[in-house]
Amino acid sequence: MNEEIYPQKQKKTRLSKIISISTTILLIVALAFCFTVVVQIQTKRYVSIFGFSVFRVVTDSMEPAIPVGALILNKETDIEKIKVGDIICFRSMESYMNGNIVTHRVVDIRTIDGKVALTTRGDANNSEDSYYVIESNFIGKVISVTGEDSFLLNAYSVLTSGIGFFTLIIIPVVIIAAFILHENLKKIQREMKKLREEMETQMKANPPSLPHGSDIDSSKADNYHFQDKNLQ
């Protein structure tokens, strides 16, 4: 009977370890993701995962190709690979735009001082942008555009809002971290208790004995005591 129970305990222990390791890995990934998102928002004001980023269109400068409210998927691309007709994302150089991200179409490509310079214009605009897009303010190429009422758009709107990101990402990660920490502390306490019980059991089974030299000294002390009585 004991032989049947022991393999079952081993299986439960192995499964518990697998779950613990998997949960820890997921937590590390989640924490790394949150850290990456926060850092990118602070430094670039947008999030890029594996070279892909998502932006929501808020003006009508690219209608009808890209309507207001549409969601665009941008891919980091070498500026040298951009062609006339491509739709790109870049940071505005206009002072009043404060470095906001713009999505316009490339209408001309030049080389200035050995570097690529793109001329852009919104499809709905009558004039070209007043500045070139160069490598320093170039973000990437638009590779996909979603509809205004898409599920992806709604999900993105929630996740990119401060409350949505905090509620759906930060809070769950904190809860998982607290749970794992609690479980690990309980496991450490159980291991320490088990070790203490094993040491106590070993001490009871094998009590410490006096050294051999102590027996000799005790025998000598008895002899001296016997001699003292004879002298008296």
| Nearest in space to 104 (alpha carbons), one of 136, 66, 76, 78 | 66
**Is 62 within a domain?**
yes
For residues 141 and 54, membership in a common domain is answered with yes
The pLDDT assigned to 81 comes to: 96
Count Cβ atoms within 10 A of the Cβ of residue 90 and give its class: 0-12 exposed, 13-18 middle, 19 or more buried.
buried
Domain assignment of residue 161, yes or no: no
Co-location of 88 and 129 in the same domain? yes
Q: Could you tell me if 54 and 143 lie in one domain?
A: yes
The answer to whether residue 164 is domain-embedded is: no
Residue 179 and residue 111 share a domain: no
Q: How much is the pLDDT for 181?
A: 79
Residues 70 and 35 in one domain: no
Residues in the chain: 232
**What does pLDDT average to in each consecutive run of 10 residues of the chain (232 residues)?**
51 68 78 79 80 90 92 93 97 87 97 95 96 95 83 70 73 80 81 83 73 50 47 44
Strand partners, 121: 105
- 15 and 62 in a common domain: no
Q: Domain holding 142: CATH number?
A: 2.10.109.10
Domain extent, residue 30, equals 2-43+171-190
- Determine if the peptide bond prior to 207 is cis (ω within 30°): no
**Residues 107 and 72 occupy one common structural domain:** yes
CA separation for the pair 66, 72 (Å, rounded): 9
Q: Do 67 and 30 fall into the same domain?
A: no
pLDDT value of residue 106 = 98
Residues 65 and 114 in one domain: yes
Residue 94 sits in the same domain as residue 118: yes
User: What's the confidence (pLDDT) of residue 13?
Assistant: 66
pLDDT value of residue 98: 82
Total tally of structural domains belonging to the chain = 2
Domain assignment present for residue 69? The answer is yes
Are both 101 and 56 inside the same structural domain? yes
Q: Per the domain annotation, does 157 fall within a domain?
A: no
Residue 139: C-alpha distances to residues 20, 54, 72, 143, 206 (Å) = 40, 11, 13, 13, 74
In this structure, are 90 and 115 located in the same domain?
A: yes
Q: Strand, coil or helix: what is 109?
A: strand
Q: Looking at residue 217, what is its pLDDT?
A: 52
